Amino acid sequence: MPQGCVFIDGEYVTPEDARMSIFDMGFVWSDTVYDVTSTWGGWFFMLDEHLERFARSCAGFRLENPHGPDEMRRILAECVARSGLENCYVKLQLTRGVLKDHIRDPRLGEPAFVAYAIPYAWIWGEEKCRNGAALHLSGVERVSSRAIDARYKNYNRADFVQARFEAYDQGCDDAILVGADGALTEGPGYNIFVVKDGRVATPDSNVLEGITRRAVAELCDEEGIPYACRRVEPEELGAADELFASTTAGGVMPVVRLGDRPIGNGHAGLLTGRIQSRYWRKREEGWHGTRVEDILEAA
Amino acid sequence: MPQGCVFIDGEYVTPEDARMSIFDMGFVWSDTVYDVTSTWGGWFFMLDEHLERFARSCAGFRLENPHGPDEMRRILAECVARSGLENCYVKLQLTRGVLKDHIRDPRLGEPAFVAYAIPYAWIWGEEKCRNGAALHLSGVERVSSRAIDARYKNYNRADFVQARFEAYDQGCDDAILVGADGALTEGPGYNIFVVKDGRVATPDSNVLEGITRRAVAELCDEEGIPYACRRVEPEELGAADELFASTTAGGVMPVVRLGDRPIGNGHAGLLTGRIQSRYWRKREEGWHGTRVEDILEAA
């Protein structure tokens, strides 16, 4: 169990003590939305953007959040402060709660909000997030947004888990999935970017609208790199000069192999490196940042 | 919280005390499979069939169950006996567990088995399960089995929850969903049957292979009613003479209205009634039954 601090049932507890009812329909129906932000050097990154997306996820799942944005800001800052950590993985989630009639009517749930701060996590481990990972183009189809809308960040992720098993079987670090319409979508927790002839493209539908993806668009703009959010074909992966991925839990992450074929020269691409360096340099400087201390002092 | 008995972490506890870690990936990734059986008058119904399907679900999700079938039989019987209830809703589930690296590798989970017996639940309430409910043909698409295989009974059910909200909005009791291929699938926890010209048909793909559905096939055979498991078009719902549904938590359940249009004369159909009566009469007689006491005495 990681170190850190969890806000649950109105109290701050250790991760070991953070337990929920097995009858919470957030578990039984995967009727839960969430978001993940981070702190780096004591600064939250794009906190309001995460809170706004969380609000959209709640509305999309028809879950009523008992906490307003200011209250959530204070709870998250309190979790970080109590964790004693500078670099945190910070999660907030809202579950349907236990239903009064136990099995039937989701309108009878009392949604339960949970938040926590634990040590900053690197989705592929720090070394591979910085220097590059191998992805497997999965045969598992991504759940369609017509069934469960990927824009609402949620816990229905069994497709991702099976795709990841498949990736490990193939000697890769993680998976990338294709949707029912044949277009490229995303991986388990990250957006994907194709670099070809100096241009960056990322899938526009059936994906989470990543906050780090938004940061990448901004960085491309600053670097004068053409950026497009459009339909991306799976074939573009193999034909790319460079590939990279983005997520809160790893930032801008090079992809250096697809299946058993190296991408480019098998090392992180130059354009990817420019975006990645700028991303971390700006984060160190407090880019789009909110100081944890400032939230606590204002409270 | 219902009365009953829960087996969790190797102990028998009350439902109030049945709590799990919020870090269990069975929750965070909905990486959980389950099954639901029941007891009626102290008899389990088709227990081995449920345990066999549960084993297939575990294998399909690559979850290793620490308990063999005999051990599970004893645990389930013990839950029922300790609950003091004759008619029980009996669940078994297996979650991925807490991962050693927290966020990444599902192979590092230690799967956690939970079982419980609570009062027998009627999915639409007893009256509507016996006399008929109104269904809404949902605009929410059913998750494709190419993404998450519906034959492996699992907790990725956000499509069902949103479809049920939609049904309530439309003044109906529950929803029925169509798949990406345009074929009819299932509702939240039940299979659907169309009766036309004395013949019964039920969807053959992108659905849970219901144990009660199997019982329905057997009852149709005994009653000399032609039964087919085949592709069913959504349009067949409105054109049907009768509709009914099947589930462990309700048995054979008439459907008397689709949206705002009555099915047949708006009451449970005659053929549906024959199957339903035979189902409950045979269950009272211990059909496909295993006595709870016999399992405990053999232990």
Compute the average pLDDT of residues A181-206.
98
Residue B14, chain A, CB below 8 Å: the answer is no
- Note the CATH number of domain B5-119: 3.30.470.10
Nearest to B27 among A89, A103, A155 (CB): A155
Report whether A225 contacts A241 (CB < 8 A).
no
pLDDT in tens, A114-172: 999 999 999 999 999 999 999 999 999 999 999 999 999 999 999 999 999 999 999 99
For residue B213, pLDDT beyond 90: yes
Average of per-residue pLDDT across A272-287:
95
Local confidence band at A48 (pLDDT 50, 70, 90 cut-offs): very high
Q: Which of B155, B168, B181 to mutate to test the interface with A (most CBs of A within 10 A)?
A: B155
pLDDT, one tens digit per residue, over A174-188 is 999 999 999 999 999
Q: What is the pLDDT of residue A78?
A: 98
> In the predicted model, is pLDDT for residue B104 greater than 90?
no
Domain B126-284, CATH among 3.40.50.1100, 3.20.20.140, 1.20.1740.10, 3.20.10.10: 3.20.10.10
Q: Phi-psi category of A23—alpha, beta or left, where left has phi over 0 and alpha has psi -120 to 50?
A: alpha
Is residue B1 scored above 90 in pLDDT? no
Interchain CB distance below 8 Å, A105 and B31: no
Residue B299 — very low, low, confident or very high, per pLDDT cuts 50/70/90?
A: confident
Distances, alpha carbon B115 to alpha carbons A282, B81, B99, B142, in Å:
50, 13, 21, 27
Confidence band, pLDDT 50/70/90 cuts, at residue B55: very high
The mean pLDDT value for B249-256 works out to 97
| Test mutation, B113, B127, B144, chain A, max A CBs within 10 A | B144
Instruction: Identify the CA nearest to B110 among candidates B11, B10, B15, B17.
Output: B10
B-chain CB neighbours of A159 within 8 Å are 147-148
Which pLDDT band holds residue B32 (cuts at 50, 70, 90)?
Answer: very high
Q: Nearest by CB to A180, which of B6, B107, B180?
A: B180
> Taking every pair of C-alpha atoms in chain A, what is the biggest distance, in angstroms?
59
**Residue A178: what pLDDT?**
98
Contact yes or no for A24/A155 (Cβ under 8 A): no
Predicted pLDDT at B102 = 66
Q: Kindly report, residue by residue over B150-201, the tens digit of the pLDDT.
A: 999 999 999 999 999 999 999 999 999 999 999 999 999 999 999 999 999 9
Is the pLDDT at B51 greater than 70, yes or no? yes
pLDDT of residue A1: 79
Of all residues in chain A, the one with the smallest CA distance to B144 is A143
User: Does A102 have pLDDT greater than 70?
Assistant: no
Quote the CA–CA distance of B257 and B266 in Å, as a whole number.
6
Q: In whole numbers, what is the pLDDT of chain B averaged over residues?
A: 96
**Number of A–B residue contacts, CB under 8 Å:** 169
Q: What does DSSP assign to residue A43?
A: E
Q: What is the DSSP letter of A78?
A: H
What's the gap in Å between the CA of B17 and the closest CA on chain A? 8
Distance CA B171, CA A254 (A): 51
Q: Cβ–Cβ of A158/B160 closer than 8 Å?
A: no
In chain B, positions 109-128, which contact chain A (CB-CB < 8 Å)?
114, 116, 118, 121, 123-125
pLDDT of A238 over the 80 cut = yes
Chain A residues inside the 8 Å CB shell of B120: none
Tell me what the mean pLDDT of segment B281-299 comes to: 94
Q: Is B196 on the interface with A (CB under 8 A)?
A: no
Which of A100-109, A248-257, B123-132 has the least mean pLDDT?
A100-109
pTM > 0.95: yes or no:
yes
Question: Per-residue confidence at A101, pLDDT binned at 50, 70, 90?
Answer: low
Is residue B185 within 8 Å of residue B202, measured between CB atoms?
no
Where along chain B do its domains lie? Answer: 5-119, 126-284
Among chain A residues, the shortest Cα distance to B114 is held by A22
B26 to chain A: closest CA residue: A27
Residue A256 pLDDT greater than 90, yes or no? yes
Mutate to test the interface with B, among A17, A35, A93, A155 (most CBs of B within 10 A): A155
